[in-house]
Amino acid sequence: MKLAILSRNSKLYSTRRLVEAARARGHSVRVLDPLRCYMRIASDGFALHYKGRAIADYDAVIPRIGASVTRYGTAVLRQFELMGSYTPNPSDAILRARDKLRAHQLLAKQGIGLPATVFGDNPDDTADLLSMLGPPPHVIKLNEGTQGAGVMLTEKPSASRAAVEALRGLYANFVVQEFIAEAEGADLRCFVVGDRVVASMRRQAPEGDFRSNLHRGGSAEAVVASDEEKAVAVRAAQVLGLGVAGVDLIRSLRGPLVLEVNSTPGLEGIEAACGHDICVDIMDYVAECVAKIG
């Protein structure tokens, strides 16, 4: 299999591990910086160049596209798709997952459990908007934030209103969610490959914080997800169209609730916590899908 990995840095842990897994299985693999790819789009066909040379005939592309380059990175990935390459995470699926509001709408439509979420634009509606959610604490999230950045907790109605008004003053896109107190600052990251959860870890927020992201100082340990949690994680990834995803769940009194579906989940933390070679699962899944296509 001729494989490309779209990544800005070949030395990143996740990128490097994917390259190692591909070569161990005898695949030809190349890391391509999406920002160095450029395209010709015409009715008579599509073309891609990379650093002055044409590139084509890749059987599969694995995107490791950072949030800061989402727009251009997904355009490059789409070009590969139009040229016949398979990808486990299509460009449109990545765009769906990156937009928290859109992702929540799609997941809720399918009956997947989520924290109650509100969204509005006009400052005159702030009080009624928050009343639709219920009393604080409230969790306020930037619509395209990552790794816990742009997430805040407000514990009084006045604080919620002030935070909403401040973000509107910055023309930021955000959502407001209910706070699930019984989770006690912990969530569950389920790593989905295809139709199964191949690894899962419990992340705990550091003392004094409610964000469990490892980049925010959270700790992690391997955990066995329940059958219900696994089913919810796989279904959430499938609703958004992702073949490889990190699905963040929170354990609530009403069952597992989806916090986020990550289209470019990091591998280092979960591989260290679980001692499982996730890259092998990804490579086998991609190779199987390419073989089915023919």
Is omega for the bond preceding 137 within 30 degrees of 0, making it cis?
A: yes
Tokens at 164, concatenated? 């909403």
Fold designation for 117-179: Dna Ligase; domain 1 (3.30.1490)
206 near 216, Cβ under 8 Å?
yes
Q: Which one-letter DSSP state was computed for residue 205?
A: P
213: left (phi over 0), alpha (psi -120 to 50) or beta: beta
Cα(236)–Cα(220) distance, rounded to whole angstroms?
22
End-to-end CA distance of the chain: 12
Indicate the DSSP class of residue 155.
-
Which single residue is written with the structure tokens 């958004």?
240
Q: Would you identify the CATH topology of the domain 2-89?
A: Rossmann fold (3.40.50)
Domain definitions of the chain by residue range: 2-89, 96-112+182-284, 117-179
CATH 3.40.50.11540 fits 96-112+182-284, yes or no: no
DSSP H helical ranges for the chain: 13-24, 70-82, 91-98, 100-109, 126-133, 157-169, 227-240, 268-274, 278-293
pLDDT (tens digit per residue) in 226-247? 999 999 999 999 999 999 999 9
Q: What does pLDDT average to in each consecutive run of 10 residues of the chain (294 residues)?
A: 97 97 97 98 97 96 95 98 98 95 95 94 87 93 68 90 87 89 89 98 74 59 96 98 97 95 95 94 97 88
